[in-house]
Chains A and B, each alone.
Chain A
Amino acid sequence: MLAVTYRGPSKVIVGEKPDPRIEHSQDVVLRVTRTAICGSDLHLYHGLVPDTRVGHTFGHEFAGVVEEVGVEVQSLKVGDRVVVPFNVACGVCYYCQRGLTSICDNANPCCDLLGGCFGYSHTAGGYEGGQAEYVRVPYADVGPMKIPDDMHEEDVLFLSDILPTGYQAAEMGDIKEGETVCIFGAGPVGLMAAKSAWILGAGRVIVVDRLDYRLDFARKYAGVEVVNYEEAGGADVVMHLKKMTEGRGPDVCIDAVGCEASGSVFQSFLGKAFLQSGQATGIVWSIQAVRRGGNVVVIGVYGPPWNLVPMGDAMNKGLTIRTGQCNVKRYQPRLLEHIRAGRIDAKGIISHRFPLEEAADAYRIFAKKQDNCIKCVLIPQAA
């Protein structure tokens, strides 16, 4: 089969790989019909995630058709169309039983920090991703959600990651009616967090980024106020946000950027010198901008071992900090309702569609933010 394979920092190719097979009685093999490149795939693409092996296939946002079924699978049959959460989760361990499928204990033998993810390095279990013609999906009775007959794969593709992730970010902010929410990062997850903040009853939503085309899109797509932090004076965006919010700062700040944030020379230096894991500018500004006693949510991806963040500020301001990979399964039913009701047009953020064969170009365009790129979807030939 054809699959995207990692060859080294900033280099992926599309080449032939052996087809996946059923390796466990609860596996299915999917024929991928749609798959997307996530912002967090760029951390892998840039070689920032430890134990990203040459030959690894990325892709944790995908939908497809069931081609083969393991003997113990009860809820799926050949021909079913499904969208798959990025988490590999067993459904029965200590964590899954409490709804925390992102930290499943039965999916990642390599590492104690996180559960299993599709296409996200051996640190996350080494499972091959969905940027391929076929993919193996373990624990098939737990993760995959059947796509309703009247819906297209693209309508629900983002129920695999970015929509639940954005929604969970807003929810972890414990937004109360009328509160002001500030989201750092106008990428796909930031946009979904903005939409979700409105659904949770926010009074104001402000999105911060440095790219005007993304801010323009955020204003039109999510109806938010926008701030270009470069125009606001870099780190002085903190003062700018306080000025916008009666001097206090937003009630909730969400870091939807992760470890490749720009905006701080000092953070960039530490990150590039491998003295910390990437750049934590999004967390730093969130902590500094949020009002005293407010909530900070970190949904952008960071890796081990550490980052420089102002914990003293957080402690003295009495902040609540909530973090975590998304427990996708928990959010899919509600978010499907929102899509059906027209409250969220998830596929409306797709700016580029490429055949799978052109994935290397798609990565380059997405990584360099060229051609006003917001979100890339890859379409395998067999779709």
Chain B
Amino acid sequence: MTRKDDIMEDIFGTDARGSQSDDRATDPPEERRPTGWGADKDEKDRPGVPMETTPGPLTHTNTLVRQQTSDPKPVVGPNRFLTPVYSTALPTRGLSGLMRKTAYKMPDYKPQRWMLLLAADRVDVLEHMKLGRAVVGVGVFVLALSLFKVIRA
């Protein structure tokens, strides 16, 4: 037994080394191998290896992708473009929409963008509740009044 083994035993107890003498865990014995064990053990024959394939269009693809034109168009973030296809679902609207449009003017490495989007999500929920709409309306009114007073002063 080596000194390292002694130390291991002190820390972890006698089961620290298990029953294996090799430095690496061994294959499960054949009778305990689950169905399909090792079917893809050849590292070169795994579907995601290498991580990046030799560049080339995927099968069945149209190399010319036409631009979708349907409305409404989505809000496009900075460093982005109107992609050839996009979703037309749920365009921005109301105060939450204004907040989202403001957020999307910021690049995605700015945390303010994500905080504003999360806040907009909560405002969106309020806007879809009857009471919530009143709360948002009063909030906007108070904010506008405060701004007006600040500007006048």
Contact = CB atoms under 8 A, between A and B. Distances in A.
Nearest to B124: A54
Interface of B is mostly: loop
A348 to B, nearest CB: 12
A112 B89 contact: no
A24 B34 contact: no
A277 B111 CA distance: 11
A247 B66 contact: no
B16 A246 contact: yes
Contacts of A350: none
Contacts, number: 241
Given A53-B121, A109-B82, A128 B89 contact: yes
Interface in A16-45: 23-27
Interface in B45-101: 46-49, 51-53, 55-58, 60-63, 65-66, 68, 70, 74-77, 79-90, 96, 100
A292 interface: no
Report the interface size class on chain A. 35 or more
A159 interface: no
Interface stretch (B17-25, B136-144, B145-153): B17-25
Interface in A124-145: 125-128, 138-139, 141-142
Contacts of B13: 243
Given A23-B70, A334-B47, A90 B61 contact: yes
B18 A246 contact: yes
Interface residues of B, number: 78
B90 A56 contact: yes
A343 B35 contact: yes
A51 B100 contact: yes
A79 interface: no
Q: Please classify the interface of chain A as helix (H, G, I), strand (E, B), loop, or mixed, using the class held by over half of its residues.
A: loop
Most chain A CB within 10 A, of B87, B104, B125, B127, is at B87
26 contacts: A23-B70, A26-B66, A50-B121, A54-B127, A54-B128, A91-B58, A91-B60, A94-B55, A97-B57, A106-B83, A108-B83, A109-B77, A109-B86, A111-B80, A122-B100, A138-B85, A142-B60, A171-B46, A178-B27, A199-B40, A201-B38, A203-B28, A204-B25, A243-B12, A333-B47, A343-B36
Given A101-B58, A198-B33, A306-B111, 16 more contacts: A24-B85, A50-B118, A51-B120, A53-B124, A92-B61, A96-B57, A100-B52, A110-B75, A128-B87, A178-B26, A195-B34, A204-B28, A246-B8, A251-B24, A277-B114, A331-B47
Interface of B: 8, 11-13, 15-18, 20, 24-28, 32-41, 43, 46-49, 51-53, 55-58, 60-63, 65-66, 68, 70, 74-77, 79-90, 96, 100, 103-104, 107-108, 111, 114-115, 117-118, 120-122, 124-125, 127-128
List of 10 A-B pairs having minimum Cβ-Cβ separation, nearest first: A343-B36, A201-B41, A91-B61, A50-B117, A8-B125, A126-B87, A91-B58, A99-B53, A203-B25, A305-B111
